[in-house]
Structure 1
Amino acid sequence: WLKERISHLLGGIQVIHIERMGPALPLEEHYSILNTFHKRLLPQRLSLHPRSMQGLTMTLE
């Protein structure tokens, strides 16, 4: 749900989270990182149309 919400706030950008080195993050940690990013994004109120950036990919590392 968070990835879709963040994507909507960023104009339809596909949100991908990867970890470069080491094992994959536990689900709780992955959710926590996305939740923190979402909370920081909300107050900024970006003025993007919900699909203005559809087709782009944003990778969170």
Structure 2
Amino acid sequence: MNDRLRQVAWDRVAYEQLKRQLAQRGWTDMNANADAEGPLIVEITSRAEVWAESVGWAPGL
């Protein structure tokens, strides 16, 4: 995920904006914060997996 965020500006910006929005909330349970991040992380990870498959990339290559 970190590599994706370094390389793809729109995913980095979306993640940063979400993190800033979530930081403004008064979380009493950090699991709720993780749950709130989940959908965007799934989207970013899915795009990264599609890219990896399209170029034949795999970890360790």
- Give the TM-score category using the shorter length: 0.3 to 0.5
Given the two structures, how large is their TM-score scaled by the length of structure 1?
A: 0.40
Given the two structures, how large is their TM-score scaled by the length of structure 2?
A: 0.40
Decide which structure has greater strand share. 1
- RCO comparison, higher one (Cα < 8 Å, 6+): 1
Decide which structure has greater helix share. 2
